[in-house]
Amino acid sequence: MRCSVCGQEAVIRLRHAGLRLCPQHLVARVEKEVEGAIRRFRMFSPETRVLVAVSGGKDSLALWHILAKSGYRADGLFIDLGIEGYSGRSQDVAQAFAEERGLTLHVVSLAEELGATLDELTRIARGKPCSLCGTVKRYLMNRLAWEGGYSALATGHNLDDEAATLLGNVLRWEEDYLSRQYPVLPGEGKLVRKAKPLVFLSEREMAAYCLITGIRYLKEDCPHAQGARSIVLKGILNQLEDRYPATKISFLRQFLRVRDRFRPPEPARLGECQSCGMPTAAEGTCRFCRLKEAVTRHTSRHGTPA
């Protein structure tokens, strides 16, 4: 198998792109796609202070690596969710990555911010782990980006993630979510601009990029993700992709083609949480603060969050 660009030995075949690539041109393609997405959707400029949400996985670490390599002012943020047997290993990987490259990594503990780990919160709030995780991460990422003076928050959502989210929103015809699904969402006030520079890159490409560039990442999945709806949707899309290559990229690009006829959605009219002062669509207090109150009540009755 020969590289479609230079004719050298290829290491990966990308059926959805009609390409066979050697290590050099796989790296070049990934970095070009990231830069292209940043420019096309006007995510941020080289002068912008960007905070990259880092999990220890391949996508977020590769994104941070690419932004730093390209000269962007990018720091990392790791949220220690306190997931037993998982969060510690994730943090070790993220910190090792930052130290090896002389990058700045901010670490925040959910237990310190909320009074409970995600494992404990799941038992207290009796909610689905992925839903609770999304709530606390979105709040903390936005608050810490705003408090740190960052103008943009970048996440490692890739093509597979975005296609699965789109499929879920279409199946339920979630018009509100569909109107907000876009590679970049503008910020306003204490709501920081959010960007997804890996939007057109597949999981296979990101895994290959990490292997070629020597990025060590945590390969295991979060234990709470087992049976998650997003995993099921990804499985369905993978089956379609195997039979009909380019299903995912076509699905997402056609959606954005229609979506591009309109301006990206303006941030919803938000008030300020009466407790923490951060943006919220709810009256009174935001959901994070309500969860914090629930943890406090539980602790006062039982002595510990567990």
* 267-304 per-position pLDDT tens digit: 567 899 999 999 998 889 999 999 999 999 999 887 77
Q: Report pLDDT for 261.
A: 62
Evaluated on CA atoms 167, 164, 168, 289, the torsion sign reads negative
- In the structure, what pLDDT confidence band is assigned to residue 259 with cuts at 50, 70 and 90? confident
Instruction: Look up residue 216 and give its DSSP letter.
Output: -
262: tokens are 């309109």
Higher per-residue confidence, 159 vs 225: 159
Mean pLDDT value across residues 198-212:
98
Evaluated on CA atoms 151, 153, 158, 161, the torsion sign reads negative
Structure confidence by residue, pLDDT tens digits, 129-159: 999 999 999 999 999 999 999 999 999 999 9
What's the CA gap between 293 and 256, in Å, rounded?
A: 40
**R_g of the chain computed on alpha carbons:** 20
Instruction: Look up residue 116 and give its DSSP letter.
Output: S
Structure confidence by residue, pLDDT tens digits, 70-128: 999 999 999 999 999 999 999 999 999 999 999 999 999 999 999 999 999 999 998 88
Domains of the chain: 33-271 (3.40.50.620)
Q: Report pLDDT for 306.
A: 60
Q: Report pLDDT for 168.
A: 96
Q: Report pLDDT for 269.
A: 72
Q: Are 4 and 19 in contact (CB under 8 A)?
A: yes
Please state the pTM of the whole predicted model: 0.93
How close are the terminal C-alpha atoms of the chain, in Å? 55
Mean pLDDT value across residues 232-249:
97
CB atoms within 10 A of CB 257: 9
Q: Report pLDDT for 88.
A: 96
Q: Is 48 exposed, middle or buried (0-12, 13-18, 19+ CB in 10 A)?
A: middle
Residue with tokens 């075949």, as numbered in its chain: 13
What's the CA gap between 291 and 200, in Å, rounded?
A: 35
Q: Report pLDDT for 62.
A: 98
Mean pLDDT value across residues 154-181:
93
The pLDDT of residue 206 is above 90: yes
- In the structure, what pLDDT confidence band is assigned to residue 260 with cuts at 50, 70 and 90? low
Structure confidence by residue, pLDDT tens digits, 23-71: 999 999 999 999 999 999 999 999 999 999 999 999 999 999 999 999 9
Task: Count CA atoms within 13 Å of residue 214 on its CB side.
Answer: 3
Mean pLDDT value across residues 219-248:
94
217: tokens are 């990442």
Percent of the chain's residues with pLDDT above 70? 96
Q: Report pLDDT for 128.
A: 87
